[in-house]
């Protein structure tokens, strides 16, 4: 299976719709009662995890609970997860990361990426909403540094996309297939 994770409102469901032609979201209600939503895709299953991080109107205990549930879900399914797509908002992410760091906290996206690395789940970072970003290269460079991705791995880790305008979706699909294939061969070796 392939999991999609990311903060609320980064465009996860729009992106899954672009990829699969299927709608995963029922209404706007975030987290809590939402189970991971599943759609079939190219012989596997895409799982849309609830959005994590700050959501206005949700108390912080609830936000923590959602995060814990996501973490448990991933830990419990780690053996079956062939690929993770971490979706970030290319416009908002750098600012949010800087803000968290200023407060002396580890930004949730950074923490989440490192968590996936620790579990050795192949991960692609889909940098979404690039239609709103002037210098996409510098955003990717910034994120790579924060996530601890070495320069030679940037191209195989980050894909700039615009889910809303259907930009670079083919690039994302291509990289997804490549990572799936690599993952399979590394397992059967
Ligand atoms: P989710 O909460 O991560 O599933 O986010 P949604 O898919 O519901 O999208 C949140 C908002 O971002 C919606 O208003 C989308 O139309 C908008 N959005 C999604 N992708 C893009 C994008 O690539 N560019 C822009 N400008 N807006 C986007």
Domains located in the chain, CATH noted: 2-188 (3.40.50.300)
- Which two tokens mark 154? 């940037």
Q: What is the mean pLDDT of residues 121-125?
A: 97
CA–CA distance, 130 with 160 (Å, rounded to integer): 6
Atom of ligand 1 nearest to the CA of 128: 23
Which residues neighbour 106 within 8 Å (Cβ) at sequence distance 6 or greater? Answer: 100
pTM, two decimals, is 0.94
Buried b (16+ CB within 10 A) or exposed e, 118-142: eeebbbbbbbbbbeebeeeeebbee
**pLDDT tens digits, 132-151:** 999 999 999 999 999 999 99
**pLDDT-derived band of residue 65, with 50, 70 and 90 as boundaries?**
confident
Show the CA angle centred on residue 16, arms to residues 161 and 127, nearest 5°.
25
For a mutational test of ligand 1's pocket, the pick from 12, 14, 20, 47, i.e. the residue with the most ligand atoms closer than 8 A to its C-beta, is: 14
- Per-residue CA distances from 76 to 31, 55, 70, 119 (Å): 19, 25, 10, 11
What is the pLDDT at residue 28? Answer: 55
**pLDDT tens digits, 27-54:** 555 544 466 789 999 999 999 998 887 6
Backbone dihedral region for residue 120 (phi beyond 0: left; psi -120 to 50: alpha; all else: beta): left
Element (H, E) at 68: helix 60-77
For a mutational test of ligand 1's pocket, the pick from 6, 9, 34, 50, i.e. the residue with the most ligand atoms closer than 8 A to its C-beta, is: 9
Phi first, then psi, for residue 130 (nearest 5°) are -70, -15
Minimal-distance CA residue to ligand 1 atom 5: 11
């Amino acid at each position: 299976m392939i999991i999609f994770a990311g903060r609320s409102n980064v465009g996860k469901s729009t992106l899954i719709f672009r990829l699969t032609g299927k709608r995963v979201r029922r209404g706007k209600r975030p987290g809590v009662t939402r189970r991971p939503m599943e759609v079939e895709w190219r012989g596997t299953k895409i799982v849309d995890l609830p959005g994590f991080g700050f959501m206005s109107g949700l108390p912080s205990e609830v936000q923590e609970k959602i995060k814990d549930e996501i973490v448990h879900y991933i830990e419990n399914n780690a053996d079956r997860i062939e690929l993770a797509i971490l979706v970030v908002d290319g416009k908002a992410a750098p600012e949010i990361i800087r803000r968290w760091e200023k407060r002396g906290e580890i930004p949730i996206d950074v923490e989440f990426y490192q968590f996936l690395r620790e579990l050795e789940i192949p991960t692609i970072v889909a940098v979404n909403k690039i239609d709103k970003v002037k210098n996409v290269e510098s955003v990717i460079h910034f994120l790579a540094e924060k996530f601890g991705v070495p320069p030679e791995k940037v191209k195989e880790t980050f894909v700039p996309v615009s889910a809303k305008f259907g930009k670079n979706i083919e690039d994302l699909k291509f990289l997804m297939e490549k990572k799936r294939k690599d993952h399979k061969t590394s397992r059967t070796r």
